[in-house]
Chains A and B, each alone.
Chain A
Amino acid sequence: MASEAHGAEEGGLVFHPMDQFIIKPLFGGDTIAWYTPTNASLWMALAVLAIIGLLVLGSSKRAIVPTRMQSIAELAYGFIYKMVEDICGKDGVKYFPYVMTLFMFIVCANFLGLLPLSFTTTSHFAVTTVLALAVFLTVTILGFVLNGTKFLGLFWVSSAPLALRPVLAIIELISYFVRPVSHSIRLAGNVMAGHAVIKVFAGFAAITVISPVSVLAITAMYGLEVLVAFIQAYVFTILTCVYLKDALHPSH
C-alpha cells in the first residue's frame, strides 16, 4: 500500500503488483531465519484458527438439527469424505483425515487471502510445492508399501500392444514425475495471478478517468477470485484423491 501511495505522489503510475507477496518478519528485523515468525506464519496460524472455529467450535453442540456453522462443517466433511470414498474406494477412507487436512488448509488460506491487506500463503511456490511433494511422496511410498513391485505396473500399460508398452512406460514415467510440478504450480499460479491482476487494476485507479472502470474490474476479478479460491482447493484435493487411488489400486 505504502509503495503505491509513494508512486502516486510522484505523479506517475507505478505498479507493484508483487509487493503483496513479500514475506516480512512479523516483529521487525531484516533477517528471515527458518524459525522467524513472518506474515506467512501469521496467516497460516489464522487459517488454523479458522479451521478450529469452523470444524471444532462449529460442531461443539453436536446438535441433531445443526446450526448454520455446524451445517457448513458437516457439508465440508461430507464433501471430502464422499470424494475420497468415490475415487479411492472404501479402503481409501483411512486417508480421509490427510486429504481433509490439505483441503481445509488450502481453502481457508485461499479465502483468508482474499481479505483486503491480507497475505496469501498459497500463492507461494514454497508452500504449494511442499503440499504437492507431500502428496507425491505419500503416494509413491504408499504405493510401494502396499503393492510392492506391482506398483510399477502403473507404468506398464498391459492393455496396450506389447510393442507400444515401453514407449508408453516412458511417457507414464514422465507424467508421474511431472505431477508434483503441475500440482503445485497450478495452485500457486492461479492464486498469485488473480491477486496480481487485482493489484494492477488498483494501480490504474490512480487515474481519475479510469478509476470507475478500474473499480468495476476489481469487483469482477474479486468475484472470479472467490470462485478460483474454492475451485483450486477442490482441484488440488481431487487430484490428491486420484493420485492416492493410483497408490491403492495401481493396475490400469
Chain B
Amino acid sequence: MATETHDAGHTAADAAHAAADSAPGMPQLDFATYPNQIFWLLVTLVVIYLILSRVALPRIGGILAERTGTITNDLAAAEDLKAKAVDAEAAYNQALADARVEAQRIAAEARAEIQAGLDDAIVKADAEIAAKAAESEKAIAEIRANALESIKAVADDTAVEIVTAMGGTADAAAVSDAVANRVKG
C-alpha cells in the first residue's frame, strides 16, 4: 500500500516533471543554456586538439611514414636482388662460354696430339715395313741363290745319271761345267 502510494506519487511527480520539461519551442533557442554548452564545447575542443596534436596524429603519421619507408626499402631490396640475379645469370653465361672455348681448345689439342702420335706411328711403321721388306728381299735372294745351287746340284746329278744311263762314263767335273754353262745361258 505504501509502495503503491509512493509509486503513484512518483508517477505524478514524473508527469509533472515531464510536462515542465517539455519545451514549448526549440530547446536549441533556449539561450540560458548557451554559456554552459559553449564552455563545455570549448573544453572538449581543447582536449581533443591537445590529444590529437600531441599524441594521436604524430603517432599515426609516424606509422604511415614507417610503412611507406618499409615498402620503399622492400622494393629497393627486391630491385637489388633482381640485379644480383641478372648478374649471376650473366656470370653463368660467361662461365658457360668460357667452358665451351676451353673444351674446344682441349679437343683441338687432343686431336693434334693424336695426329702427331699417329704420324709418328705411321713413320715408324713405314720404316719397319721398309726394313721388313728389305729383309724379306734378302731372304728371297738367298732362297733364290740356294735354289740355283740346288738346281745345279740336281741338274748335275741328273746329267750324271743320264750319261750313265746312256752308257757312258760320266766325268763329274765335265758334266758339272757343262750344266753350269747351260744354266747360265
- Digit string of B88-131 for contact with A (CB within 8 Å is 1, else 0)? 00000000000000000000000000000000000000000000
- Tell me the complex Cα distance, A40–B28, Å: 12
A23 touches B30 (CB 8 A): yes
State how many angstroms separate the Cβ of A63 from the closest Cβ of chain B: 8
A64: interface (CB < 8 Å): yes
Complex interface: chain A residues within 8 A of B21 (CB): 3, 19, 22, 24
B44: interface (CB < 8 Å): yes
- Tell me the complex Cα distance, A210–B149, Å: 160
Interface residues on A, range: 35 or more
The DSSP consensus for interface residues of chain A is helix
B36 touches A19 (CB 8 A): no
A246: interface (CB < 8 Å): no
Stretch of A52-60, A150-158, A161-169, A230-238 at the chain-chain interface: A52-60
A38 touches B36 (CB 8 A): yes
- Tell me the complex Cα distance, A96–B48, Å: 13
Stretch of A99-107, A136-144, A172-180, A217-225 at the chain-chain interface: A99-107
B52 touches A23 (CB 8 A): no
- Tell me the complex Cα distance, A124–B70, Å: 46
- Tell me the complex Cα distance, A95–B64, Å: 19
- Tell me the complex Cα distance, A47–B41, Å: 11
A97 touches B41 (CB 8 A): no
The DSSP consensus for interface residues of chain B is helix
Q: Which A46-74 residues have a C-beta within 8 angstroms of B?
A: 47-48, 51-52, 55-56, 59, 62-64, 66, 70, 73-74
Output the nearest chain A residue to B59 by Cβ-Cβ distance: A59
A21: interface (CB < 8 Å): yes
B26: interface (CB < 8 Å): yes
- Digit string of B13-25 for contact with A (CB within 8 Å is 1, else 0)? 0110111011101
A105 touches B27 (CB 8 A): no
Q: A23 and B60 in contact (CB under 8 A), knowing A2-B18, A3-B22?
A: no
Complex interface: chain B residues within 8 A of A24 (CB): 21
State how many angstroms separate the Cβ of A131 from the closest Cβ of chain B: 8
Q: A62 and B36 in contact (CB under 8 A), knowing A3-B18, A19-B23, A123-B28?
A: no
Complex interface: chain A residues within 8 A of B25 (CB): 18
Q: A130 and B38 in contact (CB under 8 A), knowing A64-B66, A97-B53?
A: yes
A59 touches B56 (CB 8 A): yes
B158: interface (CB < 8 Å): no
A105 touches B36 (CB 8 A): no
Output the nearest chain A residue to B39 by Cβ-Cβ distance: A34
A130 touches B41 (CB 8 A): yes
B3: interface (CB < 8 Å): no
A207: interface (CB < 8 Å): no
State how many angstroms separate the Cβ of B66 from the closest Cβ of chain A: 7
Output the nearest chain A residue to B35 by Cβ-Cβ distance: A34
State how many angstroms separate the Cβ of B51 from the closest Cβ of chain A: 6
Q: A56 and B51 in contact (CB under 8 A), knowing A47-B44, A64-B66?
A: yes
B82: interface (CB < 8 Å): no
Output the nearest chain A residue to B48 by Cβ-Cβ distance: A101
Q: B residues engaging A (CB < 8 A)? A: 14-15, 17-19, 21-23, 25-30, 32-45, 47-49, 51-53, 55-57, 59-64, 66-67, 70
Q: A residues engaging B (CB < 8 A)? A: 2-3, 6, 16, 18-19, 21-24, 32-38, 40-41, 44-45, 47-48, 51-52, 55-56, 59, 62-64, 66, 70, 73-74, 77-78, 96-98, 100-101, 104-105, 121, 123-127, 130-131, 134, 188, 192
18 interchain pairs, CB-CB under 8 A: A3-B18, A45-B44, A51-B48, A51-B52, A55-B57, A56-B55, A59-B59, A73-B56, A74-B63, A77-B60, A96-B57, A100-B52, A125-B28, A126-B33, A130-B42, A131-B45, A134-B45, A192-B28
